[in-house]
Amino acid sequence: MIRNQMRLEFLSCSENVGLARVAVAAFASGVDFNLSDLEEIKVAVSEAVSNAMIHGYEGATTGTVRLSASLSNEDIEIVVEDDGKGIPDVEQAMLPGTGSDPERLGLGFVFMKSFMDEVDVRTEVGKGTRVKLLKSLPGDGNADKFVKN
């Protein structure tokens, strides 16, 4: 059951990467994620949004990035969507160091998978990419606390 939800839509300008991760971290701080969890969520969101800008829109600042987050009694689900060029080979893209730019580590998906419990990528070449990130709430009783607050 969804307890809270947020949506944010912004242009693919790099200054919005910070806005995205801070918004989700503030939203997630409504439950008992500790500081380390929140830092990990921020990195995962930063990577997903950066990927949309760098790869989806290839650096163009006129694309639209849609970000949403939902809190349930069990987890937080974050979705980052773009209408960019899509990923031809998702399995390949998820491997470390497979980016085309020697200045980049190619670790975006590695960080997402390391810091979140689930990462799901749906993509269609020429139409865009949807990345779903899921992280379980820590411990028991968080749902009760959240409801009271």
Partner 1 sequence: MGYEIRKEGNILIVKVYGEFDLHAADYARRDIDSQIRAQGVKHLLFDLGSLTFIDSSGLGVILGRYRKVSESGGRAAISGTPPNIKKVMEISGLNRLMPFFVDRASAMLELG
Q: List contacts with partner 1 (CB under 8 A).
A: 14-15, 17-18, 21, 35-36, 39-40, 42-43, 46-47, 50, 53-54, 101-108, 110-111, 114
**15 among known catalytic residues:** no
- Annotated catalytic residue, options 3, 66, 104, 130: 104
- Annotated catalytic residue, options 21, 40, 47, 77: 47
- In the three-class reduction of DSSP (H, G, I as helix; E, B as strand; rest coil), residue 135 is classed as strand
- DSSP H helices in the chain: 15-28, 35-51, 90-93, 108-115, 142-148
- CA atoms within 13 Å, Cβ hemisphere of 38: 14
**3 among known catalytic residues:** no
In the bound state with partner 1, the residue whose beta carbon lies nearer, of 54 and 143, is 54
Q: How far is the CB of 1 from partner 1 (least distance, A)?
A: 32
**7 among known catalytic residues:** no
One-letter amino acid of 103: E
CA distance 32 to 57: 35
| Catalytic residue set | 47, 51, 104
